[in-house]
Amino acid sequence: MEAEVGNEEVGNEEVDGKEVDGKEVDDREFAESKIALNHRIRKNERDLALAKRRRSWSNYSIALGPILALILYALWWVPQVSPTLLKAIYYPAIPVSIAFCIASYYLKTHPGGPVERARPGEFGSEVNSGEGSGILDPDGLRVWQTSFLRRIFSNDKRRSIDQIELALDYAIDSRKSLYTLRSVPIDTRRSAYKEDARADVERFREEGSKYRRTNNNLQVVLIVGSLAATAASGVSGEFGFLRWAVLALTFTVGVASGLMAYFKFKERSFYLQQTADDVEYEIEALEIGVGRYKHIEDPHEALKEFASEVHRLKAEQRKREQNLEQPPDLNNPSD
């Protein structure tokens, strides 16, 4: 009986050891899956930012390319403009207009994020069929031997903004389901929330920088347009065609002023930067144990307090954004 009991105890120890090993394997697989999903999310976020920048560049290229060409064409038929002034304007403006026309065509016909380098079998039979002139490098990547114009007019492998957003949402949902499919301790969830807070800080700052740049650009248009309209109106008596320039400048200044007043870019940038600074302060205070965390000895309680405070800051930011979306008379009903 003692031997049997001893064998049972040994057997239990082996089973327990296997369970421990299995749990360690599960923990390792969970960590690896979380790292892989975080990497996929960061990659999709970077690709999405690049795709949006390329879309903005394409819009700027249209404004500085075809529209500039139309302005130059209309300027040719203005009789008040002397041939000497036309040459001074056309010599630098025509090459710039042509360059931006090519850039606008390329960016509009090749939208999306970075080029997806195709490996054999990744994009189907078109890569493996050997069609076209090309070779395979040692890594299996196709190196096309084409001219510059063929690169411009050919279709490269870029994901569109909708495809990148769909992949990003799928990766985020996969990370959420990773926590629900496996029983994860609450402290692990809070630690992951802390890592997500760092990404939120970067996101808030990027959005704040975008709104700040928009506000600064509109402010420059407002200042320069006002001064130019004043100067043009002063000499419009001698040059009659400048009255149209005064009208265009006045209209542009009015549009810039209206956009700044309605969309409140400055306020949005300020609140986003403020929230990013507050969340970053909470992260640093938690790591070095100062502020609200200096009297909390238990790290689990500190994480709990941190998650609660960051959640409150993000909720306040959402309320501020909702208030900025409301018309002015709803923001200040007493007025």
- Residues 111 and 62: their CA atoms lie apart, in Å, by 14
Q: Which two tokens stand for residue 289?
A: 């144990």
The predicted pLDDT at position 142 comes to 42
Helix residue ranges per DSSP H, the chain:
2-64, 66-76, 83-109, 125-128, 148-153, 161-181, 186-235, 242-263, 265-288, 299-325, 328-331
Q: Which residue has the tokens 């938690």?
A: 286
Q: Which residues contact 189 (CB under 8 A, 6 or more apart)?
A: 179
β-partners of residue 136 are 142
Tens place of pLDDT per residue across the chain (335 aa): 444 444 444 444 343 333 434 444 466 777 788 788 888 988 998 898 899 889 988 888 887 888 888 888 888 887 777 888 888 888 888 888 888 888 888 888 888 888 876 444 333 333 333 333 333 344 443 444 445 555 555 556 788 889 998 998 898 888 777 766 656 677 667 777 777 888 889 889 989 999 999 999 999 999 998 998 888 887 777 766 677 778 888 998 999 999 999 999 999 999 999 999 999 999 999 989 898 998 888 888 888 899 899 999 999 999 999 998 876 554 454 44
- Residue 143 and residue 97 in contact, taking contact as beta carbons nearer than 8 Å: no
**Structural contact between residues 194 and 302, judged by C-beta atoms closer than 8 angstroms:** no
Distance CA 203, CA 205 (A): 5
Q: What are phi and psi of 136, to 5 degrees?
A: -110, 130
C-alpha to C-alpha distances, 60 to 105, 151, 247, 305, nearest whole angstrom: 12, 22, 23, 46
Phi/psi for 175 (5° steps) reads -65, -35
Element (H, E) at 135: strand 134-136
Partners of 134 in the β-ladder: 144
* pLDDT at position 211: 94
> What residues does 115 pair with on adjacent strands?
158
The single-letter DSSP state of residue 291 is G
